[in-house]
Amino acid sequence: MPIDVAMRNLAVEPNGALRGRRCATRSTFEDETDAGGYVASPAEQVRTQLSMVRDGDSSSEYERLALQFEHAGAEDVVAWAVERFGRRLSLVCSFQNCVLIDLVTRVDPKVDVIFLDTGAHFAETLTYVERVETQYQLKLRVVTPDAEADAWPCGSERCCELRKTAPLAGALRGQVAWMSGIKRADSDERATTPIVSWDETRGLVKINPIATWTHDDVAHYEADRKLPIHPLFRKGYLSIGCSPTTRPVSLLEDRRAGRWPGSDKTECGLHK
């Protein structure tokens, strides 16, 4: 189905409880069954492992939580976020892969998923979005920029501001928390990414469940779960953004070397 609409909500049918194997490199729990045969939900399991903060939303509180989550599995973090924030939690996905979508929808199939359609994505990315949307029956919102962005094409000074950061601010209005799939292994700028923090820019809680994962962890999870792979990945696009400002990289280059080539830009501003 086409994805050129500005915003939409799709009906979601529950796809069952969280079952099966976990990513061996990051999981801290398997499905646990008590003597009566009851399988605890992820949120119930994580409640016994991690302190559930209920009082206050200060940055120091989330710094404390980040330390607790440092050795927790991504599933634990997701379960905590879903249990804590419910329908006021959004997953913001660039669809370079669908690892976080797979993790989160196993806990909450109805999670709000946001995709920022900048108007400059590769055709392969849009096709991949459709495939993942269909496979997971996502509750997906495709968010497009306002008309003001027309004067600032991809690669220009205000492009990312008008095509990414401003649309995301609007899409998150009314929410209290958002999740992203960034990792410390992505770049030097992301090397200290906390698992949970207070996003001062947006006045929201930000959760990065796979912040501690390596690129190998991602690849192993994709293989174990047999996830669909972005078609450009096998063509050397190891970090995928907008088509005018993304190129493939060699095995000797950093994965993000292909983003904004020829400039000193390394981030779009979403993860400040």
Name the β-bridge partners of 179. 91, 207
Query: Which neighbouring-strand residues pair with 121?
Result: 242
Q: In this structure, what DSSP letter does residue 41 have?
A: P
Q: How far apart are the first and last CA of the chain?
A: 33
Q: CB neighbours (10 Å) of residue 220? A: 16
Other C-beta atoms closer than 10 Å to the C-beta of 212 total 21
Token pair of 163 as six digits: 């095509």
**DSSP run (H or E) holding 131:** helix 123-136
Show the tokens assigned to 184. 């410390």
The answer to whether the CB of 6 falls within 8 A of the CB of 142 is yes
Asked if 268 is an active-site residue, the reply is: yes
State how far the Cα of 18 lies from the Cα of 104, in Å rounded to an integer.
Answer: 10
Active-site annotation holder among 23, 160, 242, 268: 268
Q: Which two tokens stand for residue 137?
A: 């029956």
In single-letter form, the type of residue at position 212 comes to T
Name the residue type at position 197. S
Known catalytic residues are 268
